[in-house]
Chains A and B, each alone.
Chain A
């Protein structure tokens, strides 16, 4: 297996690319971006078929009509973009990256329509917030009266999370895209930088095969557990599918407003724990495991990093809860405390306590442990968010390497090695790019945390919610609600988007659209000087 371990190095290539292309940017470039965005939108529109069938099956005809209207709207926009912006030019690396970035903005604007038509939202911004939350597998919600949402709308919410976890562009690549090299830029733009196969289309299909395999296994497991816990067969099936989709994609949505707490079931919590831990692993690792290389799970730097950080944070979280005697029994400490920590570390966002309890009962140490876990997140090239265990591992190795260099003679060659689908040598460029991404995560986290404080929320709650949005987690202390200021909703939307795409596509989009203005300014200045 060959894996391109780029870890965000592409940012440098990309910035260079946008700078050099700035002066020769033409309307054609925009047409290419819009043309491929249109293609992805058309691909996504076919997803409406699933909730539409559920609506017919459950006799929810009003919802079925909502999905027909929404399908027509999405197809119209997609077809218009493909017709008006039709072009024969092949997309370049920058075009792929920009398309991957802006297609998410198109998606939240277009595919939020069923939410709006359902009447469960107070504004369209709230619909777009939930849409971004679903697609980026975050799990923060502004929906009102969730307990009385139709089954078809619940299917739509969870399906979006499931698709968003794999990547909406990955879906389009798997279905539509031809097998050319430029497809790789679309793939990388969505925050995935590893190829399981030489062909990116084959890789996208493989990601979907793995996800569908686990969909069957996980749904059966959750359905059986639901029946065992007393749910009717039909209800156990739907809840099984939804909880699986939310757990596998580390999304954190649930069909009931109490989230996983609704079930009051140790068995469902245990099964969902297994699913979201597996869901947070790298797709390359799944691929290796199902092809027979099972030892890779234990020697991989990413899983070792995850084991270490989870264990250390478990200690601090337990200590923090123990200090305030929040949970009097070990069982409660595990089911409430550890479950939330694991849910945060894998960026799932499943909750077994009320948001208010987190804010008022847990104390600062336990909340800080959760905030750090939310920021670290799961594995690269998985459905999880955060700045990823791989980067934590690389930065730790870099510290060890530098310490060794200090202790050894100046002419000694010290190269730190790590296991990642084979033995690799740590390079300075990897350390540099890992540091850069972590720094950008921390920066947008700080901006959103300050914005939360400015809106009047306490520091710890603002930081918690900011980490939750930036790391695509979905745990909440109660800040996220439809009554929070609109600017805070927009900042969280941006953080979810930037966190999910790992900045590359965002920087490309900003550079791309900025170049239209800076290019004109330069042109005008040049003309004036002549």
Chain B
């Protein structure tokens, strides 16, 4: 943990900002992918009208 903190401190502000930006983008991509997967399930249920 301390090594990570030290590594973060050694980064230039530009590199640190880029790292944070990529982290935020990764989380946004995760949420969009999760949403897309669920929309696909909705579409399949809607299209094929499963009945039990």
Contact = CB atoms under 8 A, between A and B. Distances in A.
Contact of B42 (A214, A307, A314): A314
27 contacts: A1-B1, A213-B20, A213-B24, A273-B31, A273-B35, A278-B27, A286-B23, A286-B27, A290-B19, A290-B20, A291-B4, A291-B23, A292-B23, A294-B22, A294-B23, A294-B26, A297-B27, A303-B30, A307-B34, A311-B38, A311-B41, A315-B45, A318-B46, A322-B49, A330-B42, A333-B42, A342-B38
Given A213-B20, A292-B23, A330 B46 contact: yes
A277 interface: yes
A289 B50 contact: no
Interface string B1-35: 11011001000000000011011101110111011
B4 to A, nearest CB: 6
A333 B5 contact: no
A315 B41 contact: yes
Given A277-B35, A318-B42, A291 B27 contact: no
Contacts of B24: 213-214, 217, 289-290
B1 A2 contact: yes
A2, A298, A334: most-surrounded residue (chain B CB, <10 A): A334
Q: 7 shortest A-B CB distances, which residue pairs?
A: A290-B23, A277-B31, A318-B45, A289-B23, A294-B26, A314-B38, A274-B31
A43 interface: no
Contacts of B2: 198
SS class, residues of chain B in contact with chain A? helix
Contacts of B1: 1-2, 197-198
A319 B31 contact: no
B42 A281 contact: no
A334 B42 contact: yes
Interface of A: 1-2, 197-198, 213-214, 217, 270, 273-274, 277-278, 281, 286, 289-292, 294, 297-298, 303, 306-307, 310-311, 314-315, 318-319, 322-323, 330, 333-334, 337-338, 341-342
Nearest to A288: B23
A518 to B, nearest CB: 42
A338 B46 CA distance: 12
Interface of B: 1-2, 4-5, 8, 19-20, 22-24, 26-28, 30-32, 34-35, 37-39, 41-43, 45-46, 49-51
Contacts of A217: 24
Contacts of A323: 51
Contacts of A277: 30-31, 34-35
A273 B32 CA distance: 9
B39 A334 contact: yes
Nearest to B28: A274
Contact of A337 (B30, B34, B37, B42): B42
A439 B41 CA distance: 31
Contacts of B30: 277-278, 297-298, 303
Contacts of A291: 4, 8, 19, 23
Contact of B38 (A2, A213, A338): A338
A292 B26 CA distance: 10
Contact of B37 (A292, A307, A333): A307
A278 B39 CA distance: 18
A438 to B, nearest CB: 23
A289 B45 contact: no
B38 A278 contact: no
Contacts of B28: 274, 278
Nearest to B22: A294
B35 to A, nearest CB: 6
Contacts of B46: 318, 322, 330, 333
B1 to A, nearest CB: 5
Nearest to A330: B46
Contacts of A292: 19, 22-23
Given A198-B1, A291-B4, A297-B26, A338 B39 contact: yes
Nearest to A285: B27
Contacts of A286: 23, 27
A337 B46 CA distance: 12
Nearest to B38: A314
A272 to B, nearest CB: 11
B43 to A, nearest CB: 6
Nearest to B37: A311
A380 B45 CA distance: 31
B38 A310 contact: yes
A273 B36 CA distance: 12
A519 to B, nearest CB: 42
A170 B26 CA distance: 26
Given A290-B20, A290-B24, A319 B38 contact: no
Contacts of A1: 1, 4
Contacts of A307: 34, 37
Contacts of A342: 35, 38
Given A1-B4, A310-B38, 8 more contacts: A1-B1, A273-B35, A278-B30, A291-B8, A318-B42, A323-B51, A333-B42, A338-B42
B6 to A, nearest CB: 12
A92 B32 CA distance: 44
Given A198-B1, A318-B46, A319-B50, A289 B41 contact: no
